[in-house]
Structure 1
Amino acid sequence: MKFYPLTFTPILKDRIWGGTKLKTYLNKPIVSETTGESWEISTVPGDISVVATGVLKGKNINEIIDLYPEEILGKSVISRFGKQFPLLFKFIDAKEDLSIQLHPNDALARERHNSFGKTEMWYVMQADESARLVVGFKKDSNQQEYLAHLENKKLIDLLNEYPVSKGDVFFLETGTIHAIGAGVVVAEIQQTSDVTYRIYDWDRVDANGNGRELHTELALDAINYQTTTSKIDYKEVANKSTAVVDCPYFVTNIIALQETFIWKRTKQAFTVFMCTNGQFEMIVNGEILRYRMGDTILIPACMENLTLRGKATLLEISI
């Protein structure tokens, strides 16, 4: 088997808060006016990504991992997760505010949902004027204060609202209350999990007058009531791989590609590139592969060195 960089057919998700930027901004093949998410690489049951090009086209990611576990995932990933792909990659378009929510940690998620927890990060790709993100408490709180504000529909008074612009990065540990605000497009990297505790949805209702399900009781012992430092400061350096997030679940660097960059693998694990700006070429065994903003590429662990060429911003994610 001659391995090559893998791209997958986007799994598009209609959401009450979604819009059309995934098409107009990222060129995704959306068909509705309320598409909120493009799942780029997923092994969430019921939403398994399928290879889009090359000799493996039509096979899903679980099938190719089963056939070539070490070549795709790498020894270090297999030692921790077996044949399970441990991350989920998304682009998100929030035309309206998302619900205020949080995710349980590994222990709670395993006990209640037979799932991983959901540590995640956001990279802001585009933000309208006055757009913001809601992340964490303004000051240390407690369950009693939280419930009083929730019941009086004043929860937002306890929470941080960050004005955001292109290039901002936020790292969200499990238990952190958060919401993506209207007018923001983000690239999201997270553990493989679809477990979310929705705690407030701005009193929004659907066409039938029904509100979405809330998870008030489940959330109480999953919330981190302490303040957190979630916004990540970093400085891009041209043609360098700059560290941004390093946590037990994933490592994310940013490559500010200006001309030519020789990429070398540093771990026995797969790598994923998310192109958040511009366009670039990847030269693999003499073949030129072309990518642009909105593309997500899985580099199998067995592939060692690549040449990247162009002008683009790349998120480089590994385990």
Structure 2
Amino acid sequence: MDLLKLNTNRVWRTYLGGKKLDLFLSNTDTVDTHYPEEWIGSVVKAINPDYKDNEGLSTIDLKDGTKTTLLDLIKLNPKEMLGESHVNKYGCDTGVLIKILDAAERLSIQVHPDKEKAKSLFNSSFGKTEAWHILEGRNIDGERPHIYLGFKEGITRELWKDKFHKQDINGMLDLMHKIYVKPGETYLIEGGMPHAIGTGCFIIEIQEPTDYTVRVERSTINGYNIPDNLCHQGLGFEHMFDCFSYAGYTEDEILARWKLKSHCSSSEQCLISYDDTKCFAMDKIIVNKNCKIRDTDNFSVLLVLKGKGTLICNNDEMVIEKGDKIFIPSYVKDIECVSDDKTEIIRCFPPKDK
């Protein structure tokens, strides 16, 4: 098997959503639940209050009928699966995690550590810089899809802590920029930047491969009480404030720096480049009849957004359709995609290894 189709991998989260994700994955039951996220190409275990063995890890059905995790498959042949230069730098870790998520309510105000803080606070080589590519949106209770991104000018650690201890949620939101979003836009959220995905956002998220999320709300909008450990991630309520960067910006500065501009080249549109961040990259491939998937030295992960077609390489052939997720090992080259219909594919790449 050169082309590895990944199984559905829904993950529990504190917030409600997932109805549009159900529709995207062609599920018959379309309802908002606590499983609003699909994790793709994941070698990361989810950090949840009720621990479930291997929750979050992507799985693959092999041709002999057995099921294995992507992580176990990588461990068998890491250099073939991930690429020699990648393994030399990152070992068996893919260095990236892709998600599709659908928010029926605003997520908790949160922050993730950058690499430096992740190393000092969590003894991790990876932080959680991430990016959001907006797929669609829905109006909920009269509110258009939006995000909260970055502090306004005048923020201080003491002011932020005071709002937290008072649980002044509106006060915290007022200290951040509320940005209405549209399909096709892409935003980079670097480690240390406060943020929250707002109601109605259906997005692809690509990130460093950790689940370190510091939350400053003690309960979600739907009334779920967030356990202390899910707020401070084991750091304690004092040290969790070390994860925030307290730089303030105007909205124009936020949009100029972290709303990314795409670049087109033939059938491929670069949504996130290594010039934007060294942590990952993302392309959009549009197939009208056929196109060659460009070769790289490392692995990649495909997500079919719309249409259907066939992926063809030397030793394998796979029919693909909307909602399919495919892991392409580094040794697989010369892939062609053939489609009778217009097919759109998101292709995600690992961190830059050189």
Structure 1 length as normaliser, TM-score?
0.88
1:33: Cα distance to partner?
4.1
Q: Is contact 2:22-2:31 (8 Å) kept?
A: no
CA distance in 1, matches of 2:119, 2:27: 33
Moved more, 195-204 or 74-83: 195-204
Question: How do 1:136-155 and structure 2 match up within 5 A?
Answer: 136-139=150-153, 141-150=155-164, 151=166, 152-153=168-169, 154-155=171-172
User: Would the alpha carbon gap of residues 40 and 52 (structure 1) be closer, same or farther in structure 2, given more than 3 Å must change?
Assistant: farther
The alignment status of 1:258 with 2:288, answered yes or no, reads: yes
Other-structure match for 1:244: 272
Moved more, 270-279 or 129-138: 270-279
User: Would the alpha carbon gap of residues 179 and 283 (structure 1) be closer, same or farther in structure 2, given more than 3 Å must change?
Assistant: same
CA distance in 2, matches of 1:60, 1:181: 32
Match of 1:121 among 128, 131, 147: 131
Q: Deviations over 1:223-275 (max 9, x none)?
A: 12223422112255661343523222212222233332112213x21111122
User: Would the alpha carbon gap of residues 40 and 175 (structure 1) be closer, same or farther in structure 2, given more than 3 Å must change?
Assistant: same
Match of 2:312 among 283, 298, 317: 283
The alignment status of 1:315 with 2:353, answered yes or no, reads: no
Other-structure match for 1:160: 177
Q: Is contact 1:18-1:33 (8 Å) kept?
A: yes
Structure 1 residues not aligned, in runs of 5+: none
CA distance in 2, matches of 1:29, 1:76: 43
- Please identify which structure carries the higher strand content: 1
User: Would the alpha carbon gap of residues 286 and 299 (structure 1) be closer, same or farther in structure 2, given more than 3 Å must change?
Assistant: closer
Match of 2:216 among 177, 193, 199: 199
1:191: Cα distance to partner?
1.2
Letter in 2 for 1:99: S
Structure 2 residues not aligned, in runs of 5+: 46-53
Q: 3-state DSSP class of the match of 1:160?
A: strand
Q: 3-state DSSP class of the match of 2:16?
A: strand
Q: Is contact 1:135-1:161 (8 Å) kept?
A: yes
Moved more, 14-23 or 304-313: 14-23
Other-structure match for 1:81: 90
Match of 1:221 among 221, 225, 242: 242
Q: Deviations over 1:203-227 (max 9, x none)?
A: 64647xx455433533312112223
Q: 3-state DSSP class of the match of 1:43?
A: coil
Other-structure match for 2:106: 97
1:117: Cα distance to partner?
0.9
Percent of residue pairs identical: 26
Other-structure match for 1:188: 205
Moved more, 128-137 or 142-151: 142-151
Letter in 2 for 1:37: E
CA distance in 2, matches of 1:263, 1:108: 37
1:283: Cα distance to partner?
1.7
Aligned residues: 314
